[in-house]
Every structure is written in structure tokens, then in C-alpha cells.
Structure 1
Amino acid sequence: MDFKKDLKDPYGRLSSWIHDVDCCKWDGVVCSNRSGRVIQLHLQSPAREIDVVGDEVLADPKSPLSGKISHSLQNLTHLHYLDLSLNNFSGIPIPSFIGSLRSLRYLNLSGAGFQGMVPYQLGNLSSLRTLSVRREVWQPPTLRADNWQWLAGLFNLEHLDMSGVNLRLASNWLELINTIPSLVEIHLSSCQLDLISHHIGRDTFVFHANFSSLTVLDLSGNFLGPVVPRWIFGLTALASLDLSGNLFEGPLPRGSWNLTSLQHLDLSLNYLNGSLPNELVHLNNLISLNLRENDFDGFLEGIWNWSSLTSLDLSENNFATFLPSQLSTLTALISLDLHGNHFRGRCTQLKELSLYENALSGSIPSKLGKLSSLEHLDVSHNKLTGTLPESLWQLYKLEDLCINDNSMEGIVSGSHLDNLTVLTYFDASGNSLTLRASASWTPRVQFEVLRLGSWKLGIQFPTWIRSQKILRDLDLSFTEISDTIPPWLFNQSLEYVDLSHNQLDGGISHILCEVKNETQYLWYLDLRENSLSGEIPDCWMNYPHLTHINLNSNNFTGSIPRSLFHLKDLEYLGLGNNSLTWPITFDFE
């Protein structure tokens, strides 16, 4: 109960911790069946919801505990298992007295907000099998370990995770973990580690590894370059290796690669170049390979024999070969990303296929329709021509379809789109396609993103848009519409609207000021290069999230409304080439 007193528990997670109830029945407490002593404390916060918006990582903590860790925890001398992860102990260090819990085998303090130095007393936990004090991606880098000598005391350790902990001053980190041959997993991502002291010249690296049991090694996001350490290629038990983002340069080393158990390899976000060595090609057990954002080039012969491969990312390199017909032999492949290269050839089959920003030419092959499992297809920003094959509309599982910024033409009918009932993201802008649908057509599909820029849609505004209840992104630019904007358009839950470069006429007051949807999330509005007229309405306060407004090159008259200058997030306002008059009141709040 003393332990509970120092904690803040606003969500009542410890409400069962009361004097009249046997502590072995408290939530999160596990007792020994033999002795009745407390042997486990499961006090981790339930999983957080993570959302990434641009470069910002947002976290929604689920009922975290906070406050202080009471010294009374030391009384649990038989405690084997302690999990305080994903709580919010922000501002306090990891208590050094945890090092007195000599029976601990499992200790998880990850993502709990602890700050300062990782206490050397943890080195007293000689029975420990698992130590995790990782910093989660949404948290500031406030944990550090300048002297890591204490780690050598954990000679039974199997799982080590200190990702995100600042180990910059722990220059002997590699020798220390090498004294623990029992290690099965090592996670030291983003720890500011380097190997400067181990390099003798550019190409010589002195170290003899003692990791015979190691199956997982994650050293991503450090400063281990410029040379990939050769000792890594002798880890015969290794199943997963992540060396991404380490400033490695030059070609991959040749010679003996004894990575016979390797299944997952990530070398992305480096400066590696040259062709893929035969040693890599012979890793026949690979399940996933990520070489994204390097400078590899040359041919890819040999990798098509990897029958177990499910994920392959070769994007943002300099491969300029033909896509081989053998690609279809990768029968287990689920995800393929080849964008940002100079591949030539035809498209092929996959559940998830990303080939954008290549040099693909010709038409999309009709055999595409045989890929009945395809869910995500992106062939945008290529040189594809011709018409869309009928077989494309037989891919009934398609959820995302991006064919934008090519030179395709031809007719797409309403019945075509009706076949793709689960399609929610459709970007086909930048082509010369024509939509042929009856005036009474109501699509079976519900789009979230619909981009038909440069299509021929007819002179009337497409009334079927009104049936789209979840639409948030709409691009009908350059579509030759010669009509008024319908008053119902902004009753949708639209966030992005581009109706530019058409022949739209009439005013916009009725569509902006008489909306029935009280909650508006519109942030982007582009109506430039039309024939819209009348005064610019003064009801912009209905759209508080707007960051971009472009009304250039229309026939608007009158003065600039004050409410435009009350939009706190507005970054761009285009009113040029109209017939606006004074006074212009720059009434900023």
C-alpha cells in the first residue's frame, strides 16, 4: 500500500488495491502458488495509440500511472518480474534501489518517461534475462548512460533493449556486450553509438565477436560508418539485422558471409553503392530485404530465387535494369517498392505494388487482371500510355489505385468503377481519360480520396459526387466543367478541394456561407482560373482550419472581407487578377 500512495492513478487502475483484499488478488499482482509471495508486478500502461502527422509523432497515452516509485518496492525480495512500461514518470530518474531486487529476471521500464542517468546499480541484477529501458519515438531523449561498465554484471542477460538511450560517451559499448554470450536479442537503435575506436584506417576493423546465440541485432540510427563491420557477417545464428541509417559508404563487403539463418535485413538510409554482391544474393532464407535510399546499381539477377521473400524495398537507388519476367516466381511476395529508380519493363503481380517514379512505358498489361489479391497499386509518375485494360476493373480487392501523372487516355465508365466496391483512394489525375456515366448514376463505391484532374467529365458539375459520404479529398481541376458550384458541395466532410482551371461561373457566397455541416475541416481550397464572380463572402470564420486559399484569376468584385484575416492558420491567400476595390482592411487578430 505504501507503493500505491506515492503513485498518481487518475484512471483508477489500482482501485482493487485495498486493505481488505488479499494482495494476490490485486490487479497486476501475481503471487507464487507455493509461498504466496509477490513474484510479478504487471503495471504497464495499456498500449498507446500512435499517429504520425507529417514529421510529428502524436501519442495518446492510455491510463498511465505517474508520481514516484516508493522505496517500499525493495521489500518485494522475491520479485521476478517488474513491468512499469508506457507510464508517465516524467521528471524522475530510474530509482537506483531497483538494483537491490536481486531475484529479478524481467525488467521493463521502456517508454515510462524516466530521465537522467541509467543507474549503475542495475548491474547487480545478475539473474536478469530481459532488460528494456528503451525510449519510445514520441519521447524526448532524456535518458543516458555515460559509463556502461555495470552491464558486464548481467551475465545471464538474453534480451537487451536500450534504444533511444544516449550512449555517446560509452565508447567501449561493443566490448561490454561482447562479454555476455547469452544475449539473444540486442536493440540499440538511435543511441548515438560509433565505432571510431575500432577502425584502423578506412577498411580495417578490429573486433572478435562472441555472439554465438544472437538472433536479433538492431543498431539502426547510429554512427557506425563508414565501413560495415565484417564481424557482423559471421553471426551464424542471426535471423534479423537492422543497420539502417548508419552513414555506411561504398560497396558492401565481399568474401565470406556466414549469415545462414538471416531472414530480415535492413540496410536502408545509408550511402552504400555498387552492385549487390553474390554473397547477398545467396541469402536464400530472406523474408524481407530493405535497401531503400542508397546508391546501389547494376543487375538484380539471383534475387528472384528467394522463394520465401514477402517484402522487398529497392526504392530510391540507381537500378536501371529491365524488370525481369522471373519476378512472378516470388510467389510469397506481398510488398514490393521499386520507386525512385530507372527500371524499364512491364508491370507485374503483387498484393501491394509500388512502381511510382520510374521509367515504365507502354500500356498497363491486360494480364494485370489475373492478380486477384491486389489491394494497393501505384504506377504513378511514369510514362504509361494507351488505354486502361478492362482487366484492371476486375481487381475487386483494390483499395488504393494511383495511376496519376502518366499519359493514358480512353474511356472509364461508371460500371467500371462500380466493380471496385472497396476502392477508397483513387488518384488518376494528370491523364486524358474520359468518364462516361449516366446522369442518374450513383456509384457503388465510397471514395475518401478522389482525384480526377485533367479528365473530361462533361460541362455539368458531376451530381454523383453528392453520394460520397466520406469524401475528404476532391480534385476536379482541368476537367472542362462549365457550370455553377452546387450549394451542397461543402456540406460534405471535405478537407481538400481543387476545382481550378475550369469554366465555373456564378458566386460562391451560397456554397460557403449556407453550409449545414457545422464542423468544417477544410484546409485547402483552390478555385483559381475560373469565371466566378460577385463579392467574396465574409463567412470564412466557418472554416477555421484553412491554410491555403487560391481565388486568383476570376471575376470577383468588391472589397476583401475581414474574416479572411481572422484565419489563424492561413499560409497562402491568392486574390490576384480579379476586380477587387478598396478599402482593404488588414484586420489581423
Structure 2
Amino acid sequence: EGIGVVCLNLTGHVHQLHLAAPLSPYEQSALGGKINPSLLELNHLSTLDLSNNNFSSIHIPKLFGLLESLTYLNLSRAQFQGAIPHNLGNLSKLQYLDLRGNDLISESLQWVSGLSSLQYLDLSYANLSKATDWLQVTFKHPSLLELHLSACILEDDPHLISVNSSKSLAVLDLSWNSLSSVPKSIFSLHGLVSIDLRFNSLDGRIPDYFGNISFLEVLDLHQNSLNSSIPNSLFCLNHLRFLHLSSNKIQQDISEILQNNQLSGHLTYQLGQFKNLSYLSLAQNNISGPIPSSIGELSSLKYFDLSENQLNGTFPLCFGQLESLETLDFGYNLLEGVVIETHFSELTRLTTLKASHNRLRFEPNSSWIPPFQCQIIELGHWHLGSKFPLWLKFQKELSSLDISHVGISDVMPTWFVNLPTQFEYLNLSYNQLTGGISYLNVTNSIDLSSNRFTGPLPRVLSTLRYLFLSNNSFSGSLSELICNPSLKEMVALYIDINLLIGEIPDCWNHWENLAYLNLGNNNLTGKIPPTLGYTNPCMLNLRNNSMFGELPSTLRNSWSLVMLDLSENHFSGSVPTWIGDKLSNLVVLSLRSNNFDGYIPRKICDLQFLQNLDFGHNNISGVIPKCFSNLSEMATKNETNNELSTPYFIDYSFYLKALLVLKGREGEYGSTLGLVTSLDLSANRLRGEIPKEIGSLVGLLSLNFSGNLLTGNIPDNIGNMELMESLDLSMNRLNGEIPPSFSNLNFLNHFNVSYNNLTGHIPTSTQLQSFENLSYVGNHLCGPPLTKNCTSKNIPTDVGNKGRKVNWLYVSIVFGFVLGFWSVVAPLFFIRSWRIAYYQKLDQIC
């Protein structure tokens, strides 16, 4: 016998071939190529296992259908492709067939009918979208015990044919399909023990018929759109031990779910029917009300998940009675009140406690020793008192801890830093922890942000991927951390809002996995190091430091950048053309408050995903590019993508945040960043007219061209930008009237056209009349909200008064002339001696 070959002892015939490749990525021993027809010579072969191999270029050979002695055939995850050969149906002795995880297709399952001895069938991930007979064939198969058709693109049967269902089928897996309703034929499969319908499109009510399947032990309906309430019949399933209803739209009071008040008022009796229930998940629904104390009767419960609902009231003491409980998750609810040691008195088997985002208070006696040894504890947003929790000292197996936002104002205890346990995840953020930290024994993720830690940056493990130290008082240099060659796994590094000094070191060569870097709001100086440009992150934030110089050309290699914020530094030179040419994925670009000069490069217009562009407060000259109309994300009305995320993470939910100057003030945008679109070119030296092409950016929420040297009329089509919330054109040299189309801007809440040369009537609208006079000062405008009324020619009345003053000036000149003339002539006319003397003088001159 060779490896994987089993022969019959008496005859020596090959009986079994176990040629499955190992799943380990470190063992490269997968079989491939064509399958030799000599396999047909093994007439006594009953077992053939070729799973996990690599036959990516071939179909399943038809010769398998000629191996008449086969009882077991496993071709799962072997990368076969194409149509499933129908002659497999000739294997009348076959009891086990596993074809899952290949790239297969079948337009009919009629061949399955020929497998008269079949007990186990798994066709998961095969394309059965055209196999409309799947239900009729499989549900009436006489010997089938277990059926797996997960992710087979199955849809509802439009024919609704009644099937004489099998009495034998016990396990049914139809998960990850496109079913919008539960096939009614399921409810005639009275022998079913397990039903898996998760990740479908089921909607409406949970069918009452599930209660007819009296031996049901496992029911998984999570990740659907089921609504209304849980049917009473479900609570008659005495054998039920696994119930998963998470991520639906169930709206019901928790007490109704647990006590089934349609039957009787004996709460304990009703819950006693669940004595076999070991797994109960109702997470991510709209379940409300307080948790009833009789939950303590579920004596077999090992896993209980009520997270992300609307539960209120207190945390019942009865949880302390659930001796079998291993996982308890009631995070993200509205529970409040005091938790005491008794709540955990009998939870000796508890390994996971997730309860973050409730309003609970827990301040046990300093001598309390928990009865459990947890691996995961999440109590974020609880109130744990001002002292660091001493009871954590006794958790020897802890790998994940979240005590963020819990009100601790204490020095980080030495015993905690020196715990023998190695954390995978540690979150102590948003407390008032003080002191220095020299070393952190965490393998994956650390979040110490928004505390008061001081001293140099801590040393970390080489496996660390996420390090968040934002908003503390860490000081010193970045060199020891950044230049550590063992830190090759780091994905996110946030050290913004600290007291770091010196230059950013030029040793980023080994940071090949870096996706998010935030060093903003420190005291960093110097230029951007060239090697940083080769890290190719998704986000780079160096805002509000004292950095200078031109942008290094190596940054053109960071083509993955979605957000680039270099604002509030002293960077200089012209805006590089390669930003528009190479950084094609940019969504947020801020070079605000620097010393950039030159023209705006036309290549910026090629940034098809750009939603926020801020070049404000620089020395940029030239004209506003007409090609801004090519910025398609600004020209599209975005109504769907609230959060701006990147596809970089699989195991860590991560969303970008940005500081944007909108409506005249700076604010942080995170969960709504994907909805924000802004264009800010304020406080530069831009000349010429505002191009009419700007009016095509109908998705803009904020437009700021203030503080430039712009001339000409305001384009009328800016009034088509109906989503605009903030518009600032102040302190320019614009003339003409405010376009009447501005009356269409119904969402404006910040508007400023002050200090231009605008004239005429302010258009009438709901919004334009709601702003103060300061929005219009320094022009020649009239009409509400200004007190200056307009004439029939839209000329302010005070301008007319000024005209009359000019006429009075002429009158005064004439009057002065007449007065001066008659002051000389009148005496000559009325005084005879003056007149004689005057004419004698004229005679002498002549």
C-alpha cells in the first residue's frame, strides 16, 4: 500500500484512494493535470477522494461515471470546471457525493435520480440557476439524508409544484441563494433536523409551518429581511437547540419572544420548553423591551446574542444562573442601571463577554475575583469608575479587551502592562489615563487614542497591524518606531494630535502594507521623505505641522491614495501635475494654507472620483480651469454612499475621516464624508471670470471662490446647483446682478457675496432673504433683506438721492456764481461814486 491507497486484505485489490491535498498553504503537494483512464482498471474501488487539488483546466472526467463500485466520491475544492457529467447518475451504489467549491454548472439535476443509494449530496457553489427541477428531484429522493445547495444561485420556483417529499431528509442547506420565500415543500419534510436558509432574500413573516417540523434542532434564518414577529409555533419545537435569527427586521418585545404569551402566563413553564436550546441569536433586529428575569431558566444555553437591538431596562440578575453560558453578547442596546458581582456569580464557563454601548455601571469591590476566565471582554461605554479595574489582573487568558469610554482617570498600572497574557486587541481609548508606556504586548491592534499619555512612543510587537495613539501627549521623535525594520505588517498608524518633533525619518522602505498614515497636528518639520512615497497608502494626513519644501516626486507612486491632506504647513512650489495624472483614486485632496504658487494644473480635472478639493489660502494665480466640469463625482448627485471606505480591509471595519472647511468653519466628517462634495479655491490670486462650466457641478454642496481677483458676471447656471448648502464669492471684483436663478438654491444656509461690485435687485427666494446684511455689504444691491429699496429700474433709492445731491451741487455752484457776480456788480449799479471811479480806471487802461 502507498500513501493514501487502501487495499483489501484478502485480495489485494485497491479499495480506497485518499488523494486529498492538504489545506495548509505551506504544503505544496496538490495534484493537477489530466486524470489517467487507467483508473477504470480499479474495478473494486469504493472510495475516491481528490479534494483540495488543482485540476483548474479540466472538466470532471466522464470516466468517474463508470466506476460502478464507488460508494464515496469527494471532488470538493479541486478546481474542476464546466458541466457536471450526467453519467455520474449511473453510480447506483454511491452514498456520498461532494462536488462543492468548484466552478461547475448543471442545467438539470435529473441525473441525481439515478443515484438510488445516495445519502449525502453537496453541490454548493455550482451554478444551478437553470436547473429548475432541483426541488422536485432532491426533495423526493428516497434515501437522501443530507443536502447542501449553498450559493447555487437558486431562485423561487415559479411553478409551485407540490412534491411528495422524502421521509428521509434530515439536513437541508439552502444558504447564500436568492430565495425570497421559504419553499413550502420544506414543511412536509417532517424528518428534518437542521434547516439553513441564511443569507437569502427572505422577506415578510417567518412562516408558522416551521412548528410542524417537530424534530427540528437547528434553524438558521439570519441575514434575511424577515419582519413582523416570531410565530408562536416556533416555541413548540422542544428539540430546538440552535436558533439564529440575527440581521433581520424583527420588531417585537423581547418578553413576547421568550415567554410566548399567547399560550399562558406561566413564564417559567414556557421557558422550560427551551431546556435543550444551547445557541440563541436574535442580534441586529429591532427587538425592544426589558430582558425578562426568567431567562435564567435556559439552563442549556451556551451562546446568547441579543446585540444591536433596542433592549432597555436593567441587566437581570438571572444571567448569573446560566452555568453553561460561554458567550454572552448584548452590546449596542439601551440597557441601564447597576451591575454587581452577583450577575456573574455562576458564569464559570464564560469565555466571551460583549456588552459595549449600554449605559451600565459596574464598580465591584476591589477584592472581587471573577469566577470566569474570559478570552474576550468588551465593556466600552460602561461606567467602570475612576480607578483602573483591578479584577482584570485575574484574567489570565484574555486576548481581546475593550474598556473605551468608561470614565477611568488613573495612571496606567504597571501590573497591566506586565500581564503575562498576550493581547490580540486592546482598546483603552477615550479615558483619562496618564503616565508613560514603554512597551505593549499586543499582536494585532492597539487603540490608546484620546487619553493623556506622555513620554516617548511605546515599543510594539513586529506583528502589530493597527496602532492608534491619536490625541495624547506623546513626544519625541518618530525615528525609533518608523525605522524599526521588523515592523512590516503595519496597516494603520495614527499618531495625530500629539507633541512629536523633528523630521519624519526617511526609512519607510519596509512599510509595504501601510494603508493609513495620520501624523497631523504635531510639531513635525522638514520635508516629506522620498521613501514615504513608495508606501502607497490609501490615506496620508500630515496636516497642521511645520513641514516645508516641494512635494517629492516619489508620491506619484502612491496611486492607491483616496485621501491626501497636507494642509496648514509651509509646502511650496507649484501644484504637481502628476497629482491628477497618477493619483487617480483621490476622493479628498487638501493643500489648504500652504505656500503653493503657479497655476492650477489641468490634469486635476482628470480625477474622476474627487469629491473634495481644497486649494484655499495659497498663492495660486491664473484662471479657474473650465475643465473642472469633468470632475464627475462633483457633477453627480450622490444620494447613497454615506461613509467613505476603502476595500483595503477584510478583518477590520475602517472608514475615513476628514477635516473640511465648509460653511466658513472647520469640522470633522466621518460617517457622512461620502455624501460631502466641496470645492474651495479661496484666498488665492485667481483672475478672470468664473467659468460657466462650474454650473455643471450639480452635486456640489459647498463652493468657495472668495478672496480672489475674479471679475465679470456670476454665471447664471450656478443656480442649477440645487443641492448647494454653502456659496461664498465674497471679496472679488464681480459685477452685474445676482442671477435670478439663485432663487432655486433652496438648501443654502451659508451665503456671502459681500465686497464685490454687484448691482441690482436681490432675487426673491426662501433662502436669500434669510441672510444678514453682512452677506451683501460692499455692493450696490437693493431689496430685502437690505433696507435699501429698489426703483422701477432696480436702482437703490439712496442712489437716486445721491443724484439729487449732485443736482444741488450744480445749484450751489450757480448760486455762488450769481452771489459773487452781484457782490461786485451791485455796488457799481447802486453807488454812483464807485461807478465813476470804475469807468475812469477803464479809460486809463485803454
* TM class by smaller structure: 0.7 to 0.9
Partner deviation per Cα, 1:3-46 (whole Å, 9 max, x = no partner): xxxxxxxxxxxxx53xxxxxxxx65313164x443333333345
CA–CA distance in structure 1, aligned partners of residues 322 and 110 of structure 2? 56
**Residue 372 of structure 2 corresponds to residue 406 of structure 1:** no
**Alpha-carbon spacing, 1:103–1:461, altered in 2? closer, same or farther (3 Å):** closer
1:393 shift after superposition: 6.0
Between 389-398 and 188-197, the greater mean CA deviation after superposition = 389-398
**Residue 284 of structure 2 corresponds to residue 323 of structure 1:** no
Between 273-282 and 367-376, the greater mean CA deviation after superposition = 367-376
- Trace 1:126-275 onto structure 2 (pairs within 5 A): 126-135=92-101, 141-177=102-138, 180-198=141-159, 205-225=160-180, 227-254=181-208, 258-275=212-229
Mark the runs of 5 or more structure 1 residues left unpaired by the alignment. Answer: 1-15, 18-25, 50-58, 136-140, 199-204, 343-358
Partner of 1:555: 499
Partner deviation per Cα, 1:563-588 (whole Å, 9 max, x = no partner): 35863322322222222333333432
- Give SS of 2:233's match: helix
**Residue 456 of structure 2 corresponds to residue 507 of structure 1:** yes
**Alpha-carbon spacing, 1:465–1:75, altered in 2? closer, same or farther (3 Å):** same
Question: Could you tell me which of 217, 234, 239 is aligned with 1:285?
Answer: 239
**Alpha-carbon spacing, 1:338–1:159, altered in 2? closer, same or farther (3 Å):** same
Partner of 2:379: 428
- Give SS of 1:72's match: helix
- Trace 1:496-575 onto structure 2 (pairs within 5 A): 496-508=445-457, 511-512=458-459, 520-537=462-479, 539-542=481-484, 543-563=487-507, 567-575=511-519
Partner of 2:332: 381
CA–CA distance in structure 1, aligned partners of residues 162 and 318 of structure 2? 52
- Give SS of 1:562's match: coil
Between 176-185 and 211-220, the greater mean CA deviation after superposition = 176-185
Partner of 2:40: 74
Question: Could you tell me which of 63, 77, 91 is aligned with 2:57?
Answer: 91
- Give SS of 1:121's match: helix
**Residue 535 of structure 2 corresponds to residue 585 of structure 1:** no
1:389 shift after superposition: 0.9
Contact 1:241 1:264 in 2 (8 A): yes
- Give SS of 1:377's match: strand
1:373 shift after superposition: 4.0
Return the TM-score normalized by structure 1: 0.77
Partner of 2:81: 115
Contact 2:425 2:442 in 1 (8 A): no
Partner of 1:43: 19
- Trace 1:440-455 onto structure 2 (pairs within 5 A): 445-455=396-406
Partner deviation per Cα, 1:169-203 (whole Å, 9 max, x = no partner): 222223333563232222211111223442xxxxx
1:61 shift after superposition: 6.4
1:540 shift after superposition: 0.9
CA–CA distance in structure 2, aligned partners of residues 36 and 579 of structure 1? 80
Between 538-547 and 232-241, the greater mean CA deviation after superposition = 538-547
1:538 shift after superposition: 5.7
CA–CA distance in structure 1, aligned partners of residues 359 and 251 of structure 2? 28
1:257 shift after superposition: 5.8
CA–CA distance in structure 2, aligned partners of residues 371 and 176 of structure 1? 45
CA–CA distance in structure 2, aligned partners of residues 413 and 256 of structure 1? 48
CA–CA distance in structure 2, aligned partners of residues 253 and 547 of structure 1? 46
Between 290-299 and 253-262, the greater mean CA deviation after superposition = 253-262
**Alpha-carbon spacing, 1:540–1:308, altered in 2? closer, same or farther (3 Å):** same
**Alpha-carbon spacing, 1:114–1:174, altered in 2? closer, same or farther (3 Å):** same
CA–CA distance in structure 2, aligned partners of residues 368 and 314 of structure 1? 17
1:131 shift after superposition: 1.8
Contact 2:387 2:410 in 1 (8 A): no
Contact 1:126 1:153 in 2 (8 A): yes
Contact 2:502 2:524 in 1 (8 A): yes
1:556 shift after superposition: 2.5
Question: Could you tell me which of 414, 429, 441 is aligned with 1:477?
Answer: 429
Mark the runs of 5 or more structure 2 residues left unpaired by the alignment. Answer: 261-269, 535-846
Contact 1:413 1:435 in 2 (8 A): no
Return the TM-score normalized by structure 2: 0.55
Contact 1:152 1:176 in 2 (8 A): yes
**Alpha-carbon spacing, 1:478–1:258, altered in 2? closer, same or farther (3 Å):** closer
CA–CA distance in structure 2, aligned partners of residues 456 and 190 of structure 1? 46
**Alpha-carbon spacing, 1:94–1:554, altered in 2? closer, same or farther (3 Å):** same
**Alpha-carbon spacing, 1:191–1:379, altered in 2? closer, same or farther (3 Å):** closer
Query: Which one-letter code corresponds to 2:452 in the other structure?
Result: Q
CA–CA distance in structure 1, aligned partners of residues 362 and 198 of structure 2? 44
CA–CA distance in structure 2, aligned partners of residues 293 and 437 of structure 1? 35
CA–CA distance in structure 2, aligned partners of residues 256 and 477 of structure 1? 46
1:110 shift after superposition: 1.9
Query: Which one-letter code corresponds to 1:41 in the other structure?
Result: L
Determine which structure has greater relative contact order: mean sequence separation of CA pairs < 8 Å that are 6+ residues apart, divided by chain length: 1
**Alpha-carbon spacing, 1:40–1:142, altered in 2? closer, same or farther (3 Å):** same
Partner deviation per Cα, 1:134-178 (whole Å, 9 max, x = no partner): 21xxxxx51222343333322332322211111222222233335
CA–CA distance in structure 2, aligned partners of residues 390 and 292 of structure 1? 29
Partner of 1:31: 8
1:457 shift after superposition: 5.3
**Alpha-carbon spacing, 1:167–1:539, altered in 2? closer, same or farther (3 Å):** same
- Give SS of 1:474's match: strand
Partner deviation per Cα, 1:376-435 (whole Å, 9 max, x = no partner): 33343334444441235644443333343333446456643x545723333333233236
- Trace 1:386-397 onto structure 2 (pairs within 5 A): 386-392=337-343, 394=345, 395-397=347-349
**Alpha-carbon spacing, 1:537–1:382, altered in 2? closer, same or farther (3 Å):** same
- Give SS of 2:452's match: coil
**Alpha-carbon spacing, 1:474–1:279, altered in 2? closer, same or farther (3 Å):** closer
- Give SS of 1:581's match: strand
Partner of 2:550: none
CA–CA distance in structure 2, aligned partners of residues 567 and 413 of structure 1? 46
Query: Which one-letter code corresponds to 1:123 in the other structure?
Result: G
- Give SS of 1:500's match: coil
1:74 shift after superposition: 0.1
1:521 shift after superposition: 1.6
- Trace 1:482-493 onto structure 2 (pairs within 5 A): 482-483=434-435, 485-487=436-438, 489-490=439-440, 492-493=441-442
Query: Which one-letter code corresponds to 1:582 in the other structure?
Result: G
1:97 shift after superposition: 0.7
CA–CA distance in structure 2, aligned partners of residues 438 and 241 of structure 1? 44
- Give SS of 2:429's match: coil
Partner of 1:55: none
Q: Which of these two proteins has the greater Rg computed from alpha carbons?
A: 2
CA–CA distance in structure 2, aligned partners of residues 217 and 151 of structure 1? 16
Partner deviation per Cα, 1:273-303 (whole Å, 9 max, x = no partner): 2223343333333222222222233432437
**Alpha-carbon spacing, 1:29–1:475, altered in 2? closer, same or farther (3 Å):** same
CA–CA distance in structure 2, aligned partners of residues 330 and 409 of structure 1? 25
Corresponding residue pairs, total: 514
- Give SS of 1:495's match: strand
Contact 1:539 1:563 in 2 (8 A): no
Contact 1:155 1:179 in 2 (8 A): no
CA–CA distance in structure 1, aligned partners of residues 210 and 415 of structure 2? 63
1:366 shift after superposition: 4.6
**Alpha-carbon spacing, 1:443–1:500, altered in 2? closer, same or farther (3 Å):** same
Contact 2:68 2:93 in 1 (8 A): yes
- Give SS of 2:385's match: strand
